[in-house]
Amino acid sequence: MMENVSVVTLFTLSGLNFTVEQRIILFLLTLLWYSLIVFGNVFLIVAIIVDKTLHEPMYIFLCNLCINALYGTVGFYPKFLMDLLSSHVISYAGCMLQGFVIHSSTCCDFSILALMAYDRYVAICRPLVYHSVMTRQRVAIFVFLSWLLPIYCMFMNTATLLGSRLCGSHIKRIYCVNWMIVTLACSPPKGNAVVTYVNIVFYFWHFVFIIWTYMYVIKTCISSKEDQRKFMQTCLPHLISLVVHTITVLLDVLYMRFGPRDLSQDLYNFMAMEFLLIPPLVNPLVYGFKLTKVRNKIVNFVCIKRNDHGIIT
């Protein structure tokens, strides 16, 4: 056995035991859902880039949140769609890459949401110094770090798995994540456990920072109707995104590590996919309808299209 543990080149994925008809239906539904995700996020990205009135820190962070949604979902949907039409196997390198993309995208979401919370804190609690604090240079640095730190953290996590001797090649999941590879290791790498807990603590403090920030924002808004209106228009979408993302990620992580194994395969699949299904589509819908400038941009776009087709004169 020890002679073969280091030569695993292919992993098999589980959870796709469907009939041909079911696979076709699931393929079409998944393709439709992924198309909606791509369209919604690309539309917001283009709207923010093209409209100079949206070149503000809040919308720049939102643009990066949408870019990250595209980055994270491209690590799952194309491979999942191919698996529905063929055998569900993945190469060792592909598995490591998929796990890295999905993990780093999830962490990047928390980093960007933390930036958006800080931006709203300065705008509402310290409005007089907002423009001196949120300068273009600082915004650029914040955005750069919001991408660099998650990618670095997940690179270190993935790097600790390289060279691990594996005693199996079957991943009990519909896509690859690092924890599944750890469970296949003949002796779980200690370095991975250390890096994993450091990353968990690091992003736990992201969550604490966001909650602390919004506590101050809510406290400030209580005494001012103008601030209450601003909170409902700009902060509420952020809170919805935070709650949706946190719940979906926690459900998956907690079940993957501590959950019972007698859960039905379909429910397990959904719990594994929900943070790749719900937040990437919910975010553009929430921000598109709640943020006034973005909503007006959408309305103007629709009206222009109608005029082009002669529906409105």
The model's pLDDT over 215-269, given as tens digits with 9 standing for 90+, comes to: 888 887 777 777 677 777 767 777 888 888 888 888 777 777 666 666 666 777 7
- Judge whether residue 62 has pLDDT over 70: yes
Inter-residue contact 174 to 79 (CB < 8 Å): no
100 has a pLDDT exceeding 60 = yes
pLDDT at residue 304 tops 60? no
Rounded-to-integer distance, Cα 185 and Cα 153, Å = 21
Confidence of residue 58 (pLDDT cuts 50, 70, 90): confident
- Kindly report the pTM of this predicted structure: 0.85
Mean pLDDT, range 201-220, rounded to an integer: 87
Q: How confident is the model at residue 65 (pLDDT cuts 50, 70, 90)?
A: very high
What CATH code is assigned to 10-308? 1.20.1070.10
| Average pLDDT over every residue of 89-96 | 88
Give the model's pLDDT for residue 294.
Answer: 66
The answer for residues whose C-beta is within 8 angstroms of residue 283's C-beta and 6 or more apart is 41, 65, 66, 69, 241
**pLDDT (0 to 100) of residue 214:** 86
* Tokens found for residue 69: 């949604």
For residue 10, what is the enclosing H or E element? strand 10-13
- Where would I find the H helices in the chain? 20-50, 57-74, 77-85, 92-125, 130-133, 136-159, 178-184, 190-221, 225-230, 236-258, 265-277, 279-290, 292-308
State residue 11 phi and psi, 5-degree precision: -110, 145
Q: Is the pLDDT of residue 5 over 50?
A: no
Query: What is the rounded CA–CA span in Å between residue 73 and residue 124?
Result: 33
Parse the chain into domains and list their residue ranges: 10-308
Supply the pLDDT for residue 253: 76
Least confident of 71-85, 101-115, 145-159, 223-237: 223-237
For 166, the 3-state DSSP assignment is: strand
pLDDT of the residue at 298: 62
